[in-house]
Structure 1
Amino acid sequence: MSMTLLPLAAAPAGVDLAAAYRMAAPGLAEWLTILPVAWCLLAGAVLTAMRGATRLHPGLTVAALAVLVVMDAALLVHVATHGPVTMMMGRWLPPFGIAFTVDMLGALFALTAAVVALLVSIQALGEVDDGRRRYGFYPFLLLLMAGVSGAFLTGDLFNLYVWFEVLLIASFGLLVLGSEKTQIDGTVKYGFLNLVATTLFLIGVGLTYGALGTLNMADIAAKLAAEPLGVPAVTLAGLFLFAFAMKAAAFPVNFWLPAAYHTPNVAVSALFAGLLTKVGIYALIRVCVMLMPAATGELSLPLGLVALATMLVGSFGALAQDNLRRLFGYLVVAGIGAILAGVAIGGATGLAGAIVYAVHSMVVMAALYGVAALALAVAGSERLTTLAGLWTARPVLAALSLMLFLSAAGLPPFSGLWPKVMLIRAALEGGWWWLAAGLILMGLLTTLALGRVFLLAFWRPVADGAVAGGSATSVTPGRAVPLSLGVLGLMSALTLGFGLYPEPLIAAANEAAAGLLDPTAYRQSVFPPAMNGEGTP
């Protein structure tokens, strides 16, 4: 069987191509929607072709990610100025073609992810050895960012699944680099749970297509809003909620994260802590809140209970840990619970609080793993039973760590304060007093866990510990310490800046929440008013 593809100019007489094709060339702003993904794929392919010159990979990767930050910043400015923007692949009109649609939520998450990846790549300059470079650390990193960017920017449900697969493939490679026993064990746990979640996601995608005949997100939202009857919306919402909650490491399927994130190179742990669970959270918010709001509302009570359990499991788990990276992994889990609490509460304030918390968590959780990297570099250990005296030996590290600990605990004047205030206020206004109590308890337990870290690793005298901070031989190249300190300083400056001047971030989150609750602008970006719901003039 063969098929001939005719150019548009050679179409048979009487065929109205305008019914299926876009006849005008896209504008420059529309190209911004796909440039981040295309750029990461191109840069990763170039590095793969340069496998004989791996010494150039670190510098080229940092440069490529700096360009990615510029692209995402330009996209965010455009969306903030002009509203959501859509690019259709292959000149097909929606819902036939594959859409990249970017609103404030996607642009904000994409920019934050790019900034975190850039800072982590700078930190990795002193931590990734020649062996990991030869086995493709930097191409994997860029492929991961292609998947993350694609997930944040796509407007098609099936392609959201595709970008999940792309970032999973890259994350498997980054996890297993080094081939140590603990890495392989962590990769197996990470891979199995994420593959189960991806399978459930794919089943949901198939059921959605079977019920609605479309996978375009704007089209799904319009059809579910117009014809809710006859579609198993609650079943679909429950399936998607479970799949995305598993990817985000929510209770009761949270155990894979602290079991996996402490096993790879510390820079990889920082990247994963900052980005991967947030992709799951983004997908949950996008699909369940924007596409299926009524069905998700019916599941708000179970989701609130899951959020509470996730916060408590993560907080108590952090208190019980001796290994810094496992402890920080449990704090990532607790933060996912706080974000889910905002989704369960709903409304403009609850969703905005969840979005602000997610942006804050992307930066601060990655920075906490930077603290673990520096502890390992200067003292040769990341265990609280052996760390001591870091305040005296490394006062700059101690000061930056204290700032990050206060931010993670939600204390002023850092960025963690404002999303906690927004979420607690939304919970009390909505009658979710037990979720408000859970958020306050999570903050108290997080403060205790991080206070314990500071007292034992930084404040405790050297005589009481087995390892003196700064006296052990560095286990990473010498330049790792100043580079990591510089990255940690930048991340601390970000969380302090957001804490002292939160208005722009809160305004962006409010706009993103409003776009989720009323996706009219999102739909009109895909289906302009001059077109009907089938994509024809």
Structure 2
Amino acid sequence: MNHLLLLLPLLIPLYAAILCLFFWRYVKVQQYIAVLAQAGLLVSTFLLLLEVNTNGIATTQIGNWPAPFGITLAADLFSCLMVLTGSIVGMAIHLFSIKGLDRGRQTFGYYPILLLLQLGIGGVCLTGDLFNMFVWFELLLICCFVLIALGGTKPQLEGAIKYVTINLLASGFLLTGIGLVYGITGTLNLAELGLMARAPMTHPSMVTLAGMFFLVAFGTKAAIFPLFFWLPASYHTPPIAISSFIAGLLTKVGMYAMIRLFTLVFIQDKGLMLPLFTVLAGLTMVIGVLGAASQNDFRKILSFHIVSQIGYMLMGLAISTPLALAGSIYFIMHNVLVKTNLFLISGVVAHRHGTYALKKLGSVYLQHPFLSLLFFISAFSLAGIPPFSGFWGKFMLAKAGFEADYFGLVLTSLAVSLLTIFSMTKIWNEVFWKRKPETDPLLEVMTEADLRVNRLLHLPVVFLVVFILFIGVYAEPTVALAQRAAEQLLNSEMYINAVLKR
């Protein structure tokens, strides 16, 4: 049973994408297929999490070749939490896309590409070897390029070119690192590499060099400092349904890969890597939040906050204690949900008022009090105000930092939290609270059809807010899962034994 559950997060989006191709001209049918597949994916990933939480790490070998010779799939709690979170936001994006994306863009393969993107996320999180991780990341790159360029407007094409160029360079670094690792060890299986990492290596300097290649590659994909500059230039250009999914999830997949490799494979040179991660985490937090504070566009503020929040996730890897890694895992889940929801809320506002520019917006609180409440919950969660979800992630990271004497990094994170509150307050004042500048009264008139669409766009936002409130107000189950996932990462013999059947 666990073999089937392990394959379903890959098979469901793959077969659904293929099925959509048979209905290329029937967008409505594609919508039904995509939503049903996403619902199935959500159920299957939840069942996989229950299976792994109950019975331990699940593994399977494609083609029945024994590890490390075949293609390995492995699911521990960390990977299960990632694919479950990805399926939750995927469901929200599919629901939002039905009315929030114009029919022209939906016609040209939008739903198959979105499903293939979901397939790539599952592949990265469940793969058990480095080369297949590279392949899955290339699938993500191709899908993101198509989605960002979908529609062919000049800003979209500029953003897509920047995105694909930088990420192709990152893929080059990734492939070089993979080549170095294979040349040194003769294997790319993660479990076998983890086993070798616990024994004295013959070429430690080459292993360190390979680790640097992986740091640059995944650091670019995760948008850490100073490799983040492509992100604010790309994520605000596509339609909001697309940018919400990519912005909310894709950089965290890069962080997943970094945490996986630097707790399993590249563990022998912590004297170099951990101080480097500490510096990069602090700079990523600070530069990201300062960039957000200087913006006057709803989406650009949120894009820079992606960079800032990545710094918190890297902070847990820099400290590398069980509590710190648990904080990073929890923070990734929280941020995927909250960041996706804030982008969707910006899309609902823009659908009603026709702009993302803060200076042209206002009075949303009076016109849409329920939407204002949804923003308030998501913004406070992002800023880390108790008892919302961001507080628990930052609390775990700060507590771990104080216990490990990372006082400078903890103080930096607290200062960045205050600046995050400033940015969220800025959006609240400009978009929701202040009086809207004078506009053509005809533009303020909404037809019954417009009102119906506007109400439907609220549904995915409410859907995500339910999960945000659950992991915040009732945080104990999620925190416990994050702590168990961190223990599995640090006690990597569990992963190695499960894959290699030792």
Bin for the TM-score computed over the shorter chain: over 0.9
Distance, in Å, in 1 between the alignment partners of 2:438 and 2:392 is: 36
1:129 and 2:68 aligned: no
Aligned residue pairs total 500
Go from structure 1 to structure 2 and tell me whether the alpha carbon gap of 1:320 and 1:467 turns closer, same or farther (over 3 Å shift).
farther
Query: Alpha-carbon deviation of 1:371?
Result: 1.2
Tell me the SS of whatever aligns to 1:191. helix
C-alpha contact (below 8 Å) 1:348/1:510 kept by paired residues: yes
Q: 1:115-514, aligned counterparts within 5 Å?
A: 115-231=88-204, 232-462=206-436, 464=437, 471=444, 479-514=452-487
The answer for the alignment partner of 1:22 in structure 2 is: none
Distance, in Å, in 1 between the alignment partners of 2:285 and 2:69 is: 42
C-alpha contact (below 8 Å) 1:39/1:68 kept by paired residues: yes
The structure having more radius of gyration, on CA atoms, is 1
Give the fraction of aligned pairs with identical amino acids, expressed as a percent: 35
Go from structure 1 to structure 2 and tell me whether the alpha carbon gap of 1:289 and 1:467 turns closer, same or farther (over 3 Å shift).
farther
Query: Alpha-carbon deviation of 1:301?
Result: 1.0
Letter in 2 for 1:158: F
Distance, in Å, in 2 between the alignment partners of 1:399 and 1:151 is: 35
Tell me the SS of whatever aligns to 1:125. helix
Q: TM-score, normalised by structure 1?
A: 0.91
- Structure 2 residue runs without a partner (length 5+): none
Go from structure 1 to structure 2 and tell me whether the alpha carbon gap of 1:491 and 1:483 turns closer, same or farther (over 3 Å shift).
same
Tell me the SS of whatever aligns to 2:74. strand
Query: Alpha-carbon deviation of 1:381?
Result: 1.2
Query: Alpha-carbon deviation of 1:473?
Result: 5.8
Distance, in Å, in 2 between the alignment partners of 1:503 and 1:76 is: 16
Go from structure 1 to structure 2 and tell me whether the alpha carbon gap of 1:161 and 1:74 turns closer, same or farther (over 3 Å shift).
same
Letter in 2 for 1:230: H
Post-superposition CA distance 1:432-486 (Å, at most 9, x none): 1111011101100000011011011111023x56589982669x96544212212
Tell me the SS of whatever aligns to 1:47. helix
The answer for the alignment partner of 2:73 in structure 1 is: 100
Letter in 2 for 1:164: F
C-alpha contact (below 8 Å) 1:387/1:466 kept by paired residues: no
C-alpha contact (below 8 Å) 1:85/1:101 kept by paired residues: yes
Tell me the SS of whatever aligns to 1:99. strand
Post-superposition CA distance 1:94-151 (Å, at most 9, x none): 1110100110100110000011101111011102222112211100000100100100
Go from structure 1 to structure 2 and tell me whether the alpha carbon gap of 1:297 and 1:63 turns closer, same or farther (over 3 Å shift).
farther
Letter in 2 for 1:226: A
Distance, in Å, in 2 between the alignment partners of 1:364 and 1:468 is: 34
Letter in 2 for 1:63: L
- Structure 1 residue runs without a partner (length 5+): 1-27, 530-537
Distance, in Å, in 1 between the alignment partners of 2:121 and 2:164 is: 17
Distance, in Å, in 2 between the alignment partners of 1:526 and 1:307 is: 32
CA RMSD of aligned residues (A): 1.6
Query: Alpha-carbon deviation of 1:491?
Result: 1.5
Tell me the SS of whatever aligns to 1:497. helix
Q: Which has the higher helix share?
A: 2
Query: Alpha-carbon deviation of 1:380?
Result: 1.1
Letter in 2 for 1:90: G
Query: Alpha-carbon deviation of 1:494?
Result: 1.5
Tell me the SS of whatever aligns to 2:45. helix
Query: Alpha-carbon deviation of 1:31?
Result: 2.2
C-alpha contact (below 8 Å) 1:99/1:156 kept by paired residues: yes
Letter in 1 for 2:80: A
Distance, in Å, in 1 between the alignment partners of 2:373 and 2:445 is: 21
